[in-house]
Amino acid sequence: MFNFTPEERKVTLFLLGLALCGLVLNNLVKVNCRIESMVYPPIQLAKLNLNKVNLAELVATNCVSMELARRILEYRNSRKELSSLEELKEVKGIGDQRYEKLKELFFVE
């Protein structure tokens, strides 16, 4: 009826399939909020948990020196664990600028 070429048929099918997936997912997200956490990537995939990070991982970010990494871990261990990332500002050697950089790499849970 539409006289489509094979390529046009593939494009049309792809767009329709994608739109259908979008509608189904949209509906599922509205009905069940757990689905949302499956659709969107968890923060653990993009940032390191500062309460679980070790010295090697901290230094590997190239954002802190070995000395500063040790100080951060000492501070964390002295408090058992951090409750918010802002506590990092209390570590000697972390000013506003470095804190902004660390904020992009770490989270606290």
Residues in the chain, how many?
Answer: 109
Closest to another protein by CB, 54 vs 74, is: 54
At 98, which amino acid appears? Answer: R
**Is residue 11 part of the contact set for another protein (CB under 8 A)?**
yes
**Is residue 83 part of the contact set for another protein (CB under 8 A)?**
no
Task: Mark the segment that binds another protein (CB under 8 A) among 42-50, 65-73, 76-84, 87-95.
Answer: 42-50
Query: What's the min distance (Å) between Cβ of 84 and another protein?
Result: 19
Interface with another protein: number of residues (CB under 8 A): 30
Residues 6 or more apart whose CB falls under 8 angstroms from that of 29 comprise 35, 36, 39
| Residue where the block lists tokens 């506590």 | 87
Six token digits for residue 106: 């770490």
Tell me the helix, strand and coil percentages in the chain, rounded to 5.
Answer: 65, 5, 30
Interacting residues toward another protein by CB under 8 A: 5, 7-8, 11, 14-15, 18-19, 21-23, 25-26, 29, 38-41, 43, 45-48, 60-61, 97, 100-101, 104-105
